[in-house]
Structure 1
Amino acid sequence: MPAPAEIRVLDDSYIREARSLLYHAYRNVPTFAYLFEAERPGYEQRIRATVRELLQQHFADELPALGLMLGERLIGLALISPPQRRLEITESWGWRMRMLLTAGFRCTRRYLDYHEAVMGCLPPGAYHVLPLIGVHPEFQRQRYGDQLLEALHNWCADDPNSKGVVVNTGNPQYLDFFRRHGYEDVGQIQVGPVTEHVFFHPQPLRAVKKASA
């Protein structure tokens, strides 16, 4: 693996870099391709608008985000919704109106139905939810995803009120990745032709670094 990146807690001063990273990380994700109609002109604009609105609402609600920095470049990002602050973004009328104006009625309706179905799979109790998590495609398959997830688990392990972490994906290449890191498949939903998996990790323990010889 290349030199480890630096983990940094991000604020909204990183929103521009975060928008670019998540756009590249999600534009080829099968679930988003269905929700935002990749076959129709304007798909890239709809993805950019959706990422922008999700990030803007996340930071406006003062929710945490962990960034993976290589020098001053943001190469990985995890948005976190803690159990004490878990506000349903889709309940914000301002967010809904901005989505209608940018992504359109049909795509916004698809996203709302998808979000509701995912929420319906979540186990009872208090836990962290990851609305968006990704590594820039240029830096994937270099174990940066492992570093980001370990940092995320360490961050969540320090919260005594949380019983675990929830994430969902419809990308087949990530299923083994999450399972390898201790996630259990707790639900599946059908998003058009895509099977979306909802994963749960019981409260992770802080990773213990091995002492160097």
Structure 2
Amino acid sequence: MTQTSNASSQIQMLDSGYSREARSLLYQAYRHEPTFRFLFNANRSGYEQRVRATVRELVKQHFLQDLPALGLLVNDRLLGVALIAPPQRRLGITESWAWQLRMLLSTGLSCTRRYLDYHQAVQACVPGDAVHMLPLLGIHPEFQGLHYGEQLLEAVHNWCAEDEHSEGVVLDTGNPHYLEFYKRQGYVEIGEVAVGPVVEHVFFHANPQVSRVDEA
């Protein structure tokens, strides 16, 4: 799918050829996030390497399992990425023993356990099985505040709405600066998860056709 957002930006499906660019972008987007700082122990040396390794393994496993990813490109440069987990395959990555082993070797036992516990707690907030989830979503920090996030999310919502088995999209954040942004995009908070000192907020956005039915 290709969708022109304005004169210089476009949304397109990504394949594994974008893996390196996606990893670099998502590392920059997540390295300062409160949730990741707790999960991967920012106060201990090697934090950035652990975040980089986690993003690498998540992106690698995502493309290895042929899961969908949308990218926002401006003049052929990747500025935004949304990894999407469809309803039927939401748990595939973290249930992979190969992924867990690579995480243990690259981030250590305690960080891997923290990440898995966090993932399971977020899953417990999800309203049933018929939703897409966004395990990683980011706009490059240098280009935030330019409405690329809105463009990427709109494309995600429209893409997920094409799945007749999906009722909407779920994402989560522990960054208080993003709460009002997601609410403005039509997200409704459906749960909170304590991730150490961080409060992780879980949001749901109904698919466009579901919203239209509710309004009819």
Q: In which range does the TM-score fall when normalised by the shorter chain?
A: over 0.9
1:68 correspondence with 2:72 = yes
Q: What is residue 211 of structure 1 aligned with on the other side?
A: none
Contact 2:131 2:167 in 1 (8 A): yes
Q: What SS does structure 2 have at the residue aligned with 1:145?
A: helix
1:156 correspondence with 2:130 = no
Amino acid paired to 1:155: W
Q: What SS does structure 1 have at the residue aligned with 2:66?
A: coil
**Equivalent of 2:97 in 75, 93, 97:** 93
1:174 correspondence with 2:213 = no
Q: What is residue 122 of structure 2 aligned with on the other side?
A: 118
Contact 1:9 1:67 in 2 (8 A): yes
* Distance of 1:87 and 1:43 partners within structure 2: 26
Q: What is residue 210 of structure 1 aligned with on the other side?
A: none
**Equivalent of 1:102 in 106, 109, 112:** 106
Amino acid paired to 2:175: N
Contact 1:125 1:163 in 2 (8 A): no
Contact 1:68 1:148 in 2 (8 A): yes
Query: For the aligned residues, what is the CA RMSD?
Result: 1.5
Q: What is residue 213 of structure 2 aligned with on the other side?
A: none
Displacement over 6 Å in runs of 4+: none
* Distance of 1:168 and 1:119 partners within structure 2: 10
Q: What is residue 143 of structure 1 aligned with on the other side?
A: 147
Contact 2:160 2:166 in 1 (8 A): yes
Q: In percent, how many aligned pairs have the same letter?
A: 63
* Distance of 1:91 and 1:115 partners within structure 2: 11
Contact 2:14 2:71 in 1 (8 A): yes
Task: Give how far 1:83 is off.
Answer: 1.2
**Equivalent of 1:78 in 79, 82, 106:** 82
* Distance of 1:159 and 1:2 partners within structure 2: 26
How many residues are aligned here? 206
**Is there any run of 5+ residues in structure 2 with no aligned partner, and where?**
211-216
Q: What is residue 195 of structure 2 aligned with on the other side?
A: 191
**Equivalent of 2:55 in 32, 51, 54:** 51
* Distance of 1:205 and 1:126 partners within structure 2: 14
* Distance of 2:24 and 2:75 partners within structure 1: 17
Task: Give how far 1:116 is off.
Answer: 0.8
Q: Deviations over 1:90-121 (max 9, x none)?
A: 11110000000001111111101111111111
* Distance of 2:6 and 2:31 partners within structure 1: 26
1:31 correspondence with 2:43 = no
Contact 2:171 2:202 in 1 (8 A): yes
Contact 2:157 2:168 in 1 (8 A): no
Amino acid paired to 2:97: W
Amino acid paired to 1:28: H
Contact 1:154 1:205 in 2 (8 A): no
Amino acid paired to 1:50: T
Task: Give how far 1:145 is off.
Answer: 0.3
Q: Deviations over 1:41-60 (max 9, x none)?
A: 10010000000000011111
Amino acid paired to 2:148: Y
